Amino acid sequence: MSPLRLFRTVAVAEAITWALLLSGMFLKYVTETTELGVRIGGMLHGVVFIAYCLTAVVVGVDQRWTTKRLLLGLLASIPPFFTVWFDRSAERRGELGASWRLVSATPAGHERPVAWLLRNPLRGLVAGLAAVVVLTGVALVAGPPVG
């Protein structure tokens, strides 16, 4: 899977889970019919939010995004549906390539973990899934956002 396809898939999934969460919030707070949509939508959104952030870091390092651009990509996960806007913007700017640079290029110091993930795809996938599970667990222990 190319950086473009992976990033787009996760960015769209993040936007879809935003829609589920917002629909659940409508049912809970406006129609006052059920909070099940918030429970399910919130959990799904939390998991995909974490996956999006991890994906943005991996793709950003591989595609040599500037720190400013990577931060913008991470911040795009906060407002609803901005991940799709960022994905399209990054593609137009040529920041999402058709291949993984670090599969064959010599990595710089901070690129080594990403190069390892990309050069060992099965282990990289397992490590990515484990990171999502652990970070989701930390978020659950920390509790829901207040506000």
What are the pLDDT digits (tens) for 14-50?
Answer: 999 999 999 999 999 999 999 999 999 999 999 999 9
Does pLDDT of 143 surpass 90? no
The amino acid sitting at 97 is G
**pLDDT score of 11:** 98
Tally the domains of the chain: 1
**pLDDT score of 147:** 60
For the residues 120-147, what does the mean pLDDT come to?
90
Q: How far apart are CA 24 and CA 33, in angstroms?
A: 10
User: Is there a contact between 114 and 108 (Cβ–Cβ < 8 Å)?
Assistant: no
Domain that holds residue 14: 3-142
Does pLDDT of 54 surpass 70? yes
Q: What angle do CA 111, 115, 116 make, to 5 degrees?
A: 120
Q: Is residue 43 part of a domain?
A: yes
Q: Is residue 105 part of a domain?
A: yes
- The average confidence (pLDDT) of the chain is 95
Q: Which tens digit of pLDDT belongs to each residue from 77-94? A: 999 999 999 999 999 999
Q: Is residue 147 part of a domain?
A: no
At residue 146 the predicted structure's pLDDT band, cuts being 50, 70 and 90, is: confident
Q: Is residue 67 part of a domain?
A: yes
Q: Is residue 17 part of a domain?
A: yes
Does pLDDT of 144 surpass 80? no
